[in-house]
Amino acid sequence: MKLHELITSSLTGQATLVIKNANVVNVFTDEIIKADVALCDDTIIGVGEGFTAPEVIDAEGAYLCPGFIDAHVHIESSMVIPDSFARVIMPYGTTTIIADPHEIANVAGVAGIRAIYKLTDDLPLRVMFMMPSCVPATPFENSGATLIAEDMEQFMRKSRMLGLGEVMDCGSAINCSKDMLDKLRLFDGRPIDGHAPLLTGRALNAYRIAGPSTDHECSNFDEVLEKLRTGMRILLRVGSAANDIDKVLTEIVRRGLPTDNMMFCTDDKHIENIRQEGHINYIARLAVKCGVDPVQAVKMASYNAARAYGLKNIGAIAPGYKGDMVLFKDLKDFEVVQVFTRFGKPYEDKPTPMPIIPPAVFNSVHLPPLSLDSFALEAKEIMPVISLIDGQLVNNREDLPVLRDEHGMFVSGNGLNKLAVIERHHLTGNIGLGILKGFGIKGGAIASTVGHDSHNLIIAGDNDEDMLIAADALQDCGGGICVVSRGIVLARLPLPIAGLMTDAPVDDVLERQRALLDAAEYIGISGASDPMVTLSFLALPVIPSIRLTDKGLFDSVNFCFIQ
Protein backbone atom coordinates (compact mmCIF):
# COMPACT_ATOMS: atom_id res chain seq x y z
CA MET A 1 0.00 0.00 0.00
CA LYS A 2 1.33 3.44 -0.93
CA LEU A 3 2.22 6.05 1.69
CA HIS A 4 -0.64 8.42 0.87
CA GLU A 5 -3.12 5.53 1.12
CA LEU A 6 -1.82 4.59 4.56
CA ILE A 7 -2.09 8.20 5.75
CA THR A 8 -5.66 8.47 4.46
CA SER A 9 -6.65 5.13 6.02
CA SER A 10 -5.24 6.27 9.35
CA LEU A 11 -7.31 9.47 9.20
CA THR A 12 -10.54 7.71 8.25
CA GLY A 13 -10.02 4.67 10.46
CA GLN A 14 -10.71 2.33 7.55
CA ALA A 15 -8.50 -0.70 7.92
CA THR A 16 -8.15 -4.15 6.40
CA LEU A 17 -7.89 -5.88 9.79
CA VAL A 18 -8.83 -4.82 13.32
CA ILE A 19 -7.82 -6.63 16.50
CA LYS A 20 -10.25 -5.42 19.16
CA ASN A 21 -10.41 -5.69 22.94
CA ALA A 22 -6.69 -6.29 23.36
CA ASN A 23 -4.40 -5.45 26.27
CA VAL A 24 -1.73 -3.76 24.18
CA VAL A 25 1.83 -3.68 25.53
CA ASN A 26 3.34 -0.27 24.76
CA VAL A 27 7.12 -0.56 24.74
CA PHE A 28 7.62 3.21 24.66
CA THR A 29 5.78 4.02 27.89
CA ASP A 30 5.95 0.62 29.62
CA GLU A 31 2.14 0.63 29.80
CA ILE A 32 -0.51 -1.96 29.12
CA ILE A 33 -3.41 -0.21 27.36
CA LYS A 34 -6.88 -1.58 26.60
CA ALA A 35 -7.29 -0.77 22.90
CA ASP A 36 -8.03 -1.89 19.38
CA VAL A 37 -5.24 -2.16 16.83
CA ALA A 38 -5.91 -1.46 13.14
CA LEU A 39 -3.83 -2.59 10.17
CA CYS A 40 -3.82 -1.84 6.48
CA ASP A 41 -2.19 -4.81 4.85
CA ASP A 42 1.13 -5.24 6.73
CA THR A 43 1.22 -1.84 8.48
CA ILE A 44 -0.35 -0.64 11.75
CA ILE A 45 -2.38 2.53 11.08
CA GLY A 46 -3.70 3.14 14.57
CA VAL A 47 -4.06 2.05 18.19
CA GLY A 48 -7.24 3.18 19.92
CA GLU A 49 -10.87 2.70 18.96
CA GLY A 50 -13.41 3.42 16.24
CA PHE A 51 -11.75 1.52 13.40
CA THR A 52 -13.67 -0.42 10.77
CA ALA A 53 -12.47 -3.35 8.69
CA PRO A 54 -13.81 -6.31 6.72
CA GLU A 55 -11.91 -8.61 9.08
CA VAL A 56 -12.18 -8.26 12.87
CA ILE A 57 -10.52 -10.44 15.50
CA ASP A 58 -11.71 -10.23 19.11
CA ALA A 59 -8.69 -10.56 21.42
CA GLU A 60 -11.01 -11.00 24.41
CA GLY A 61 -8.56 -9.30 26.76
CA ALA A 62 -5.49 -11.22 25.67
CA TYR A 63 -2.16 -9.40 25.67
CA LEU A 64 -1.04 -8.08 22.29
CA CYS A 65 2.74 -7.77 22.07
CA PRO A 66 5.20 -6.99 19.31
CA GLY A 67 6.30 -10.16 17.57
CA PHE A 68 9.20 -11.76 19.38
CA ILE A 69 12.71 -11.62 17.91
CA ASP A 70 15.48 -14.20 18.20
CA ALA A 71 18.47 -11.86 18.21
CA HIS A 72 21.03 -14.49 17.23
CA VAL A 73 20.39 -17.86 15.66
CA HIS A 74 21.87 -20.26 13.12
CA ILE A 75 19.05 -21.79 11.09
CA GLU A 76 21.37 -24.62 10.09
CA SER A 77 21.64 -25.73 13.72
CA SER A 78 17.96 -26.67 13.67
CA MET A 79 19.04 -29.32 11.12
CA VAL A 80 16.02 -28.51 8.94
CA ILE A 81 15.58 -26.13 5.99
CA PRO A 82 14.35 -22.56 6.68
CA ASP A 83 10.72 -23.24 5.77
CA SER A 84 10.56 -26.10 8.26
CA PHE A 85 12.33 -24.04 10.93
CA ALA A 86 9.84 -21.20 10.50
CA ARG A 87 6.94 -23.60 10.94
CA VAL A 88 8.47 -24.84 14.20
CA ILE A 89 9.13 -21.47 15.87
CA MET A 90 6.31 -19.22 14.65
CA PRO A 91 3.55 -20.90 16.68
CA TYR A 92 5.48 -19.76 19.79
CA GLY A 93 5.32 -16.09 18.84
CA THR A 94 8.70 -15.59 17.16
CA THR A 95 8.10 -13.51 14.03
CA THR A 96 11.66 -12.31 13.30
CA ILE A 97 15.08 -13.88 13.53
CA ILE A 98 18.56 -12.41 13.14
CA ALA A 99 20.33 -15.29 11.40
CA ASP A 100 24.05 -15.80 11.03
CA PRO A 101 24.64 -18.40 8.27
CA HIS A 102 28.21 -19.12 9.25
CA GLU A 103 27.52 -22.83 9.65
CA ILE A 104 26.76 -23.39 5.97
CA ALA A 105 29.39 -20.78 5.03
CA ASN A 106 32.06 -22.85 6.77
CA VAL A 107 31.10 -25.80 4.58
CA ALA A 108 30.11 -24.22 1.25
CA GLY A 109 31.34 -20.63 1.41
CA VAL A 110 29.60 -17.95 -0.65
CA ALA A 111 27.43 -20.58 -2.38
CA GLY A 112 26.09 -21.66 1.01
CA ILE A 113 25.19 -18.10 2.04
CA ARG A 114 23.43 -17.49 -1.27
CA ALA A 115 21.49 -20.73 -0.87
CA ILE A 116 20.12 -20.03 2.61
CA TYR A 117 19.38 -16.38 1.76
CA LYS A 118 17.31 -17.50 -1.22
CA LEU A 119 15.50 -20.16 0.81
CA THR A 120 14.20 -17.45 3.22
CA ASP A 121 12.82 -15.04 0.58
CA ASP A 122 9.11 -15.77 0.82
CA LEU A 123 8.64 -17.08 4.35
CA PRO A 124 6.01 -15.62 6.71
CA LEU A 125 8.91 -15.42 9.19
CA ARG A 126 10.95 -12.24 8.86
CA VAL A 127 14.53 -13.44 8.36
CA MET A 128 17.32 -10.88 8.62
CA PHE A 129 21.00 -11.77 8.27
CA MET A 130 24.40 -10.99 9.67
CA MET A 131 27.38 -11.65 7.39
CA PRO A 132 29.61 -14.46 8.73
CA SER A 133 32.83 -12.85 9.96
CA CYS A 134 34.98 -15.84 10.88
CA VAL A 135 35.08 -18.53 8.22
CA PRO A 136 36.93 -20.44 9.54
CA ALA A 137 36.49 -19.39 13.16
CA THR A 138 40.27 -19.44 13.71
CA PRO A 139 43.41 -20.38 11.77
CA PHE A 140 43.77 -23.42 14.03
CA GLU A 141 41.41 -25.68 12.08
CA ASN A 142 40.36 -26.54 8.53
CA SER A 143 36.94 -25.56 7.23
CA GLY A 144 35.35 -26.13 3.86
CA ALA A 145 35.77 -22.51 2.80
CA THR A 146 37.45 -19.23 3.67
CA LEU A 147 35.70 -15.85 3.52
CA ILE A 148 37.63 -12.60 3.18
CA ALA A 149 36.34 -9.04 2.99
CA GLU A 150 36.26 -9.08 -0.81
CA ASP A 151 33.89 -12.08 -0.73
CA MET A 152 31.51 -10.11 1.48
CA GLU A 153 31.15 -7.03 -0.70
CA GLN A 154 28.63 -8.72 -3.02
CA PHE A 155 26.19 -9.02 -0.07
CA MET A 156 26.48 -5.44 1.19
CA ARG A 157 23.48 -4.12 -0.76
CA LYS A 158 21.14 -6.96 0.05
CA SER A 159 18.22 -5.50 2.00
CA ARG A 160 18.18 -8.21 4.65
CA MET A 161 21.93 -8.22 5.36
CA LEU A 162 22.16 -6.05 8.48
CA GLY A 163 25.77 -6.20 9.57
CA LEU A 164 28.75 -8.37 10.48
CA GLY A 165 28.16 -11.63 12.33
CA GLU A 166 29.77 -12.77 15.55
CA VAL A 167 33.46 -11.93 15.66
CA MET A 168 34.63 -15.13 17.33
CA ASP A 169 38.30 -14.70 16.56
CA CYS A 170 38.92 -12.18 19.35
CA GLY A 171 42.68 -12.61 18.96
CA SER A 172 42.62 -11.45 15.35
CA ALA A 173 40.46 -8.46 16.28
CA ILE A 174 42.54 -7.18 19.19
CA ASN A 175 45.87 -8.02 17.53
CA CYS A 176 44.87 -6.04 14.45
CA SER A 177 44.99 -8.84 11.88
CA LYS A 178 44.72 -7.22 8.45
CA ASP A 179 42.10 -9.72 7.29
CA MET A 180 39.91 -9.06 10.32
CA LEU A 181 40.37 -5.28 10.20
CA ASP A 182 39.32 -5.31 6.54
CA LYS A 183 36.03 -6.95 7.53
CA LEU A 184 35.46 -4.63 10.48
CA ARG A 185 36.10 -1.57 8.33
CA LEU A 186 33.76 -2.87 5.62
CA PHE A 187 30.89 -2.98 8.13
CA ASP A 188 31.77 0.21 10.00
CA GLY A 189 28.52 1.97 10.92
CA ARG A 190 26.49 -1.23 10.85
CA PRO A 191 25.76 -3.65 13.70
CA ILE A 192 28.70 -5.94 14.50
CA ASP A 193 28.05 -8.95 16.71
CA GLY A 194 30.55 -10.04 19.31
CA HIS A 195 31.47 -13.45 20.65
CA ALA A 196 33.87 -12.98 23.54
CA PRO A 197 33.42 -15.55 26.34
CA LEU A 198 35.22 -14.51 29.55
CA LEU A 199 37.08 -11.67 27.77
CA THR A 200 37.87 -9.00 30.35
CA GLY A 201 39.96 -5.94 31.19
CA ARG A 202 42.13 -4.32 28.54
CA ALA A 203 41.47 -7.10 26.06
CA LEU A 204 37.72 -6.41 26.31
CA ASN A 205 38.33 -2.67 25.87
CA ALA A 206 40.39 -3.31 22.74
CA TYR A 207 37.73 -5.66 21.40
CA ARG A 208 35.04 -2.99 21.83
CA ILE A 209 37.18 -0.43 20.02
CA ALA A 210 37.54 -2.92 17.15
CA GLY A 211 33.76 -2.75 16.63
CA PRO A 212 31.73 -5.60 18.18
CA SER A 213 28.83 -4.18 20.17
CA THR A 214 26.94 -7.28 21.35
CA ASP A 215 27.78 -10.49 23.18
CA HIS A 216 25.80 -13.70 23.67
CA GLU A 217 28.48 -15.69 25.52
CA CYS A 218 28.18 -14.36 29.08
CA SER A 219 28.14 -17.23 31.56
CA ASN A 220 27.93 -15.25 34.82
CA PHE A 221 26.62 -11.93 36.15
CA ASP A 222 30.02 -10.27 36.58
CA GLU A 223 30.71 -10.83 32.90
CA VAL A 224 27.33 -9.31 31.99
CA LEU A 225 28.01 -6.27 34.14
CA GLU A 226 31.51 -5.62 32.81
CA LYS A 227 30.39 -5.87 29.21
CA LEU A 228 27.37 -3.63 29.80
CA ARG A 229 29.71 -1.04 31.30
CA THR A 230 31.68 -0.99 28.03
CA GLY A 231 28.50 -0.17 26.12
CA MET A 232 27.88 -3.66 24.81
CA ARG A 233 24.40 -5.06 24.41
CA ILE A 234 23.88 -8.46 26.03
CA LEU A 235 22.03 -11.32 24.38
CA LEU A 236 20.77 -13.66 27.09
CA ARG A 237 20.82 -17.11 25.55
CA VAL A 238 18.85 -20.24 26.29
CA GLY A 239 19.62 -23.01 23.79
CA SER A 240 19.89 -26.76 24.01
CA ALA A 241 23.35 -26.76 25.60
CA ALA A 242 23.64 -23.24 27.03
CA ASN A 243 20.69 -23.20 29.44
CA ASP A 244 22.06 -21.94 32.74
CA ILE A 245 20.98 -18.29 32.39
CA ASP A 246 18.43 -18.27 35.26
CA LYS A 247 21.16 -17.48 37.81
CA VAL A 248 22.23 -14.48 35.75
CA LEU A 249 18.63 -13.27 35.39
CA THR A 250 18.03 -13.59 39.12
CA GLU A 251 21.12 -11.52 39.89
CA ILE A 252 20.12 -8.89 37.30
CA VAL A 253 16.84 -8.47 39.16
CA ARG A 254 18.47 -8.50 42.60
CA ARG A 255 20.93 -5.79 41.58
CA GLY A 256 18.28 -3.71 39.82
CA LEU A 257 20.26 -3.64 36.58
CA PRO A 258 18.50 -1.83 33.69
CA THR A 259 17.46 -4.25 30.94
CA ASP A 260 17.26 -1.72 28.07
CA ASN A 261 20.40 -3.15 26.48
CA MET A 262 19.49 -6.80 26.98
CA MET A 263 17.66 -9.13 24.62
CA PHE A 264 17.05 -12.83 24.09
CA CYS A 265 18.46 -15.41 21.71
CA THR A 266 18.55 -19.18 21.32
CA ASP A 267 21.73 -19.48 19.21
CA ASP A 268 21.38 -23.27 18.96
CA LYS A 269 18.19 -24.98 20.11
CA HIS A 270 16.99 -28.25 18.66
CA ILE A 271 13.45 -28.41 17.31
CA GLU A 272 12.64 -31.17 19.81
CA ASN A 273 13.46 -28.79 22.68
CA ILE A 274 11.47 -25.99 21.02
CA ARG A 275 8.42 -28.23 20.72
CA GLN A 276 8.74 -29.20 24.39
CA GLU A 277 9.47 -25.76 25.90
CA GLY A 278 8.84 -22.99 23.41
CA HIS A 279 11.20 -20.56 21.73
CA ILE A 280 11.81 -16.91 22.72
CA ASN A 281 8.55 -17.05 24.71
CA TYR A 282 10.23 -19.68 26.89
CA ILE A 283 13.04 -17.27 27.76
CA ALA A 284 10.49 -14.52 28.49
CA ARG A 285 8.66 -16.95 30.80
CA LEU A 286 11.94 -17.79 32.53
CA ALA A 287 12.79 -14.09 32.93
CA VAL A 288 9.46 -13.32 34.59
CA LYS A 289 9.89 -16.35 36.84
CA CYS A 290 13.27 -14.94 37.89
CA GLY A 291 11.65 -11.62 38.80
CA VAL A 292 11.93 -9.54 35.63
CA ASP A 293 8.98 -7.17 35.16
CA PRO A 294 6.68 -8.68 32.48
CA VAL A 295 6.68 -5.57 30.28
CA GLN A 296 10.46 -5.44 30.44
CA ALA A 297 10.56 -9.12 29.46
CA VAL A 298 8.42 -8.30 26.41
CA LYS A 299 10.78 -5.48 25.48
CA MET A 300 13.80 -7.77 25.86
CA ALA A 301 12.04 -10.20 23.53
CA SER A 302 11.19 -7.60 20.88
CA TYR A 303 11.90 -3.86 20.98
CA ASN A 304 15.41 -4.07 22.45
CA ALA A 305 16.55 -6.42 19.70
CA ALA A 306 14.92 -4.33 16.95
CA ARG A 307 16.68 -1.23 18.26
CA ALA A 308 20.03 -3.01 18.53
CA TYR A 309 19.95 -4.12 14.90
CA GLY A 310 18.46 -0.96 13.39
CA LEU A 311 15.07 -2.46 12.56
CA LYS A 312 13.05 0.73 12.80
CA ASN A 313 9.64 -0.57 11.76
CA ILE A 314 9.27 -3.65 13.98
CA GLY A 315 9.47 -4.39 17.69
CA ALA A 316 6.58 -2.13 18.75
CA ILE A 317 2.84 -1.72 18.31
CA ALA A 318 2.34 1.82 17.06
CA PRO A 319 1.29 3.68 13.89
CA GLY A 320 3.73 3.05 11.05
CA TYR A 321 5.13 -0.16 12.50
CA LYS A 322 4.71 -3.47 10.73
CA GLY A 323 2.05 -5.89 11.86
CA ASP A 324 4.39 -8.55 13.31
CA MET A 325 2.51 -9.22 16.55
CA VAL A 326 1.55 -11.98 18.94
CA LEU A 327 -1.39 -12.44 21.32
CA PHE A 328 -0.60 -14.12 24.64
CA LYS A 329 -3.09 -15.35 27.26
CA ASP A 330 -1.01 -13.64 29.92
CA LEU A 331 2.45 -12.19 30.52
CA LYS A 332 3.51 -14.93 32.86
CA ASP A 333 3.39 -18.21 30.95
CA PHE A 334 3.39 -16.52 27.51
CA GLU A 335 1.03 -19.10 26.04
CA VAL A 336 0.25 -18.07 22.47
CA VAL A 337 -3.31 -17.33 21.32
CA GLN A 338 -2.55 -15.95 17.85
CA VAL A 339 0.49 -14.96 15.83
CA PHE A 340 0.49 -12.27 13.14
CA THR A 341 3.12 -12.60 10.43
CA ARG A 342 5.29 -10.01 8.68
CA PHE A 343 2.47 -9.78 6.12
CA GLY A 344 0.10 -8.51 8.83
CA LYS A 345 -2.02 -11.65 8.63
CA PRO A 346 -2.86 -14.37 11.16
CA TYR A 347 -0.28 -17.15 10.92
CA GLU A 348 -1.43 -20.42 9.37
CA ASP A 349 0.72 -23.54 9.29
CA LYS A 350 0.19 -24.39 5.63
CA PRO A 351 2.26 -26.71 3.44
CA THR A 352 4.48 -24.88 0.98
CA PRO A 353 6.08 -26.08 -2.26
CA MET A 354 9.42 -27.81 -1.77
CA PRO A 355 12.15 -25.24 -2.48
CA ILE A 356 14.88 -25.85 -5.01
CA ILE A 357 18.10 -26.48 -3.10
CA PRO A 358 21.31 -25.68 -5.03
CA PRO A 359 23.54 -28.70 -5.84
CA ALA A 360 26.57 -26.84 -4.43
CA VAL A 361 25.52 -27.63 -0.84
CA PHE A 362 25.37 -31.41 -1.28
CA ASN A 363 28.14 -34.05 -1.29
CA SER A 364 30.23 -32.33 1.37
CA VAL A 365 31.67 -35.28 3.31
CA HIS A 366 35.10 -36.35 2.06
CA LEU A 367 36.98 -38.53 4.54
CA PRO A 368 40.44 -40.03 4.19
CA PRO A 369 40.80 -43.82 4.31
CA LEU A 370 40.23 -44.80 7.94
CA SER A 371 41.22 -47.84 9.99
CA LEU A 372 41.42 -48.75 13.67
CA ASP A 373 44.94 -47.32 13.68
CA SER A 374 43.46 -43.91 12.80
CA PHE A 375 42.09 -43.70 16.35
CA ALA A 376 45.20 -44.82 18.24
CA LEU A 377 46.13 -42.19 20.86
CA GLU A 378 49.54 -42.46 22.48
CA ALA A 379 49.22 -41.48 26.12
CA LYS A 380 51.34 -40.54 29.13
CA GLU A 381 50.34 -41.45 32.69
CA ILE A 382 48.81 -38.00 33.16
CA MET A 383 46.97 -36.42 30.21
CA PRO A 384 45.10 -33.15 29.57
CA VAL A 385 41.36 -33.88 29.51
CA ILE A 386 38.37 -31.93 28.17
CA SER A 387 36.02 -31.79 31.16
CA LEU A 388 32.38 -30.89 30.46
CA ILE A 389 30.29 -28.57 32.64
CA ASP A 390 26.58 -29.43 32.66
CA GLY A 391 24.39 -26.70 31.19
CA GLN A 392 27.27 -24.65 29.78
CA LEU A 393 29.29 -24.44 26.57
CA VAL A 394 32.46 -23.47 28.43
CA ASN A 395 34.44 -26.40 29.82
CA ASN A 396 37.47 -27.06 32.03
CA ARG A 397 40.88 -28.56 31.48
CA GLU A 398 41.82 -31.30 33.92
CA ASP A 399 45.11 -33.17 33.95
CA LEU A 400 44.19 -36.68 35.01
CA PRO A 401 45.68 -40.19 35.24
CA VAL A 402 44.49 -42.35 32.35
CA LEU A 403 44.34 -46.03 31.47
CA ARG A 404 46.77 -47.34 28.84
CA ASP A 405 47.22 -50.64 27.05
CA GLU A 406 50.49 -52.57 26.81
CA HIS A 407 51.58 -50.36 23.90
CA GLY A 408 51.06 -47.12 25.82
CA MET A 409 47.86 -46.23 23.98
CA PHE A 410 44.90 -44.55 25.72
CA VAL A 411 42.05 -46.85 26.76
CA SER A 412 38.64 -45.56 27.85
CA GLY A 413 37.75 -46.06 31.50
CA ASN A 414 37.20 -44.30 34.84
CA GLY A 415 34.69 -41.96 33.17
CA LEU A 416 37.05 -40.95 30.35
CA ASN A 417 36.34 -41.46 26.64
CA LYS A 418 38.22 -40.88 23.42
CA LEU A 419 37.39 -37.92 21.17
CA ALA A 420 38.32 -37.60 17.49
CA VAL A 421 37.94 -34.77 14.98
CA ILE A 422 38.46 -35.79 11.34
CA GLU A 423 38.84 -33.17 8.58
CA ARG A 424 36.04 -33.83 6.08
CA HIS A 425 36.32 -31.12 3.41
CA HIS A 426 39.63 -31.35 1.56
CA LEU A 427 41.00 -34.88 2.22
CA THR A 428 43.91 -33.45 4.23
CA GLY A 429 44.04 -36.61 6.32
CA ASN A 430 44.07 -34.53 9.53
CA ILE A 431 42.78 -36.35 12.60
CA GLY A 432 42.83 -34.70 16.02
CA LEU A 433 42.62 -37.01 19.03
CA GLY A 434 41.88 -36.19 22.66
CA ILE A 435 40.27 -37.35 25.90
CA LEU A 436 36.79 -36.39 27.13
CA LYS A 437 35.26 -36.43 30.61
CA GLY A 438 31.52 -36.02 31.12
CA PHE A 439 29.87 -38.28 28.55
CA GLY A 440 30.55 -41.57 30.34
CA ILE A 441 30.12 -43.71 27.22
CA LYS A 442 30.17 -47.47 27.76
CA GLY A 443 30.05 -49.79 24.77
CA GLY A 444 29.54 -47.35 21.93
CA ALA A 445 30.21 -44.12 20.08
CA ILE A 446 28.37 -40.98 18.98
CA ALA A 447 29.38 -39.06 15.84
CA SER A 448 28.34 -35.94 13.97
CA THR A 449 29.28 -33.84 10.95
CA VAL A 450 27.81 -30.90 12.88
CA GLY A 451 31.01 -29.77 14.58
CA HIS A 452 31.08 -26.04 15.16
CA ASP A 453 32.18 -24.13 13.32
CA SER A 454 34.32 -25.81 10.70
CA HIS A 455 31.97 -28.80 10.79
CA ASN A 456 34.51 -31.53 10.57
CA LEU A 457 33.48 -35.02 11.65
CA ILE A 458 33.55 -35.33 15.44
CA ILE A 459 33.30 -38.68 17.25
CA ALA A 460 33.26 -39.62 20.93
CA GLY A 461 33.44 -43.24 22.04
CA ASP A 462 34.91 -45.84 24.34
CA ASN A 463 36.24 -48.15 21.62
CA ASP A 464 37.87 -47.67 18.24
CA GLU A 465 35.72 -50.25 16.43
CA ASP A 466 32.46 -48.37 17.06
CA MET A 467 34.11 -45.03 16.29
CA LEU A 468 35.22 -46.36 12.90
CA ILE A 469 31.75 -47.75 12.13
CA ALA A 470 30.21 -44.36 13.06
CA ALA A 471 32.53 -42.57 10.63
CA ASP A 472 31.65 -44.96 7.81
CA ALA A 473 27.91 -44.65 8.55
CA LEU A 474 27.98 -40.86 8.20
CA GLN A 475 30.10 -40.87 5.07
CA ASP A 476 27.60 -43.26 3.48
CA CYS A 477 24.64 -40.90 4.03
CA GLY A 478 26.42 -37.64 3.16
CA GLY A 479 26.67 -36.42 6.75
CA GLY A 480 24.53 -36.33 9.85
CA ILE A 481 24.49 -37.75 13.37
CA CYS A 482 24.62 -41.36 14.52
CA VAL A 483 25.01 -43.55 17.59
CA VAL A 484 26.73 -46.94 17.40
CA SER A 485 26.96 -49.71 19.98
CA ARG A 486 28.88 -52.97 19.68
CA GLY A 487 29.08 -52.80 15.92
CA ILE A 488 25.44 -51.83 15.32
CA VAL A 489 24.16 -48.41 14.20
CA LEU A 490 21.41 -47.83 16.76
CA ALA A 491 20.17 -44.53 15.33
CA ARG A 492 21.08 -42.20 12.49
CA LEU A 493 19.83 -38.84 11.22
CA PRO A 494 21.08 -38.16 7.67
CA LEU A 495 21.86 -34.48 6.99
CA PRO A 496 22.76 -34.42 3.29
CA ILE A 497 22.61 -30.61 2.91
CA ALA A 498 26.16 -29.52 3.78
CA GLY A 499 26.25 -32.28 6.40
CA LEU A 500 24.11 -29.91 8.49
CA MET A 501 20.48 -29.98 7.32
CA THR A 502 17.76 -32.09 5.77
CA ASP A 503 14.63 -31.31 3.78
CA ALA A 504 12.83 -34.24 5.42
CA PRO A 505 9.53 -33.44 7.21
CA VAL A 506 9.95 -32.06 10.71
CA ASP A 507 8.10 -34.95 12.36
CA ASP A 508 10.45 -37.43 10.69
CA VAL A 509 13.45 -35.44 11.91
CA LEU A 510 12.03 -35.32 15.44
CA GLU A 511 11.44 -39.07 15.43
CA ARG A 512 15.07 -39.66 14.44
CA GLN A 513 16.29 -37.13 17.03
CA ARG A 514 14.37 -38.92 19.76
CA ALA A 515 15.89 -42.19 18.62
CA LEU A 516 19.35 -40.60 18.81
CA LEU A 517 18.70 -39.33 22.33
CA ASP A 518 17.46 -42.76 23.42
CA ALA A 519 20.50 -44.39 21.85
CA ALA A 520 22.84 -41.87 23.50
CA GLU A 521 21.28 -42.69 26.86
CA TYR A 522 21.66 -46.41 26.10
CA ILE A 523 25.44 -46.03 25.71
CA GLY A 524 25.64 -44.09 28.96
CA ILE A 525 25.52 -40.41 27.97
CA SER A 526 23.60 -38.36 30.50
CA GLY A 527 23.44 -34.79 31.72
CA ALA A 528 21.36 -31.64 31.66
CA SER A 529 22.35 -30.70 28.11
CA ASP A 530 21.48 -32.18 24.75
CA PRO A 531 24.41 -34.51 23.96
CA MET A 532 24.23 -33.75 20.23
CA VAL A 533 24.63 -30.03 20.84
CA THR A 534 27.33 -30.60 23.47
CA LEU A 535 29.28 -32.83 21.06
CA SER A 536 29.00 -30.28 18.26
CA PHE A 537 30.73 -27.58 20.32
CA LEU A 538 33.71 -29.65 21.43
CA ALA A 539 35.61 -28.64 18.29
CA LEU A 540 35.01 -24.86 18.55
CA PRO A 541 38.37 -23.34 19.55
CA VAL A 542 37.00 -19.91 20.48
CA ILE A 543 35.16 -21.09 23.61
CA PRO A 544 37.21 -21.73 26.79
CA SER A 545 38.88 -23.68 28.09
CA ILE A 546 40.03 -26.60 25.95
CA ARG A 547 38.84 -27.93 22.56
CA LEU A 548 39.83 -30.42 19.89
CA THR A 549 40.22 -29.50 16.22
CA ASP A 550 41.38 -31.55 13.26
CA LYS A 551 44.87 -30.14 13.96
CA GLY A 552 44.99 -31.24 17.59
CA LEU A 553 44.15 -30.40 21.21
CA PHE A 554 43.76 -26.64 21.63
CA ASP A 555 44.03 -24.27 24.61
CA SER A 556 41.22 -21.75 23.98
CA VAL A 557 42.39 -19.45 26.77
CA ASN A 558 45.98 -18.97 25.62
CA PHE A 559 45.21 -19.68 21.94
CA CYS A 560 47.83 -22.35 21.40
CA PHE A 561 47.99 -26.07 20.80
CA ILE A 562 48.61 -28.38 23.74
CA GLN A 563 51.58 -30.68 23.26
Q: Does the predicted TM-score (pTM) go above 0.85? A: yes
CA-to-CA dists, residue 159 to 113, 150, 296, angstroms: 14, 19, 29
> DSSP characters for 49-100?
S--B-SEEEE-TTPEEEEPEEEEEE-GGGGTB-HHHHHHHHGGGTEEEEEE-
Going by C-alpha positions, the residue among 87, 101, 73 that lies closest to residue 361 is 101
Going by C-alpha positions, the residue among 303, 357, 419 that lies closest to residue 84 is 357
Query: Do 166 and 134 touch, CB atoms closer than 8 A?
Result: yes
What per-residue confidence (pLDDT) applies to 242? Answer: 61
Any idea what the Cα angle at residue 81 is, between residues 212 and 245, rounded to 5°? 45
Burial level of 367, CB count in 10 A (0-12/13-18/19+)?
buried
Backbone angles phi, psi at 108, to 5 degrees: -120, 5
Q: In this predicted model, what pLDDT tens digit does every residue of 251-287 receive, in sequence order? A: 999 999 999 999 999 997 889 889 999 999 999 999 9
What per-residue confidence (pLDDT) applies to 138? Answer: 87
At 2, is the secondary structure helix, strand, or coil? coil
The Cβ of residue 522 has, within 10 Å, a number of other Cβ atoms equal to 15
More confident residue, 528 or 230: 230
- Residue intervals of the chain classified under CATH 3.20.20.140 are 65-360
CA-to-CA dists, residue 96 to 22, 160, 302, 314, angstroms: 22, 12, 9, 9
What is the mean predicted confidence (pLDDT) over 113-139? 95
Of 3.40.630.30, 3.20.20.140, 3.30.1330.10, 3.90.550.10, the CATH number of 65-360 is 3.20.20.140
Query: Do 125 and 341 touch, CB atoms closer than 8 A?
Result: yes
Q: Please, which residues have CB within 8 angstroms of residue 211's CB and are 6 or more apart in sequence?
A: 164, 167, 173, 184, 187, 188, 192
Asked whether residue 241 carries a pLDDT value surpassing 70, the answer given is no
pLDDT band at residue 391 under the 50/70/90 scheme: confident
Going by C-alpha positions, the residue among 83, 493, 514 that lies closest to residue 273 is 514
Going by C-alpha positions, the residue among 150, 151, 147 that lies closest to residue 135 is 147
> DSSP characters for 249-297?
HHHHHHTT---TTEEEE-BS--HHHHHHH-SHHHHHHHHHHTT--HHHH
Q: How far apart are CA 461 and CA 444, in angstroms?
A: 6
What is the mean predicted confidence (pLDDT) over 127-135? 97
